[in-house]
Amino acid sequence: MTTALGEVAARAFVGEITTIFGLAEFNPKGGPVNKLLKFFCAQPGVNCYDLMTAITGKNCCLNSSTVEIFLNDEPQSTSTKNLVHLAQTVRDGHTFKIMTTGATIIW
């Protein structure tokens, strides 16, 4: 995720924060996420006027009709572990790798 909103969320450790507060599920349509978005959108360099573009970046394949269809069914909830992994990827220079949990990996 290379958008300003994604960078701000990753640098704020949003995945780790939601885990600390005991949220196992990240629901993009829920109240806590709405509050987080308001905070992140107020940060310098983040333009949330077009929230879809703020999250996904510019996309040649999305037009007004496909956005409407998308928003009827999406976004879906996800595990906060997915957020932690995504944030680690952004913070580590967008390099895809195994998730760092702090636990010892036994092969």
- List, for residues 42-90, the tens digit of each pLDDT value: 888 887 777 777 767 777 777 767 767 776 776 677 777 777 777 777 7
Measured CA to CA in angstroms, residue 22 lies from 18, 19, 26, 65, 79 at distances of 7, 5, 11, 37, 12
Q: Is the dihedral of CA 96, 105, 11, 37 positive or negative?
A: positive
Token digits of residue 97 = 């790798």
Q: Among residues of the chain, what percentage have pLDDT more than 90?
A: 0
Q: How confident is the model at residue 107 (pLDDT cuts 50, 70, 90)?
A: very low
CA 1, CA 14: separation in Å to the nearest integer? Answer: 14
Q: Is the pLDDT of residue 96 over 70?
A: no
Between 19 and 60, the higher pLDDT residue:
60
Once rounded to an integer, what is the mean pLDDT over residues 19-47? 76
If you search the block for the tokens 């929230």, which residue do you land on? Answer: 51
Mean pLDDT of the chain: 72
**Backbone phi, psi, residue 87, to 5°:** -65, -40
Listed in sequence order, the residues at least 6 apart from 105 whose beta carbon sits closer than 8 Å to its beta carbon are 98
If you search the block for the tokens 């996904």, which residue do you land on? Answer: 56
What are the sequence ranges of the domains in the chain? 4-91
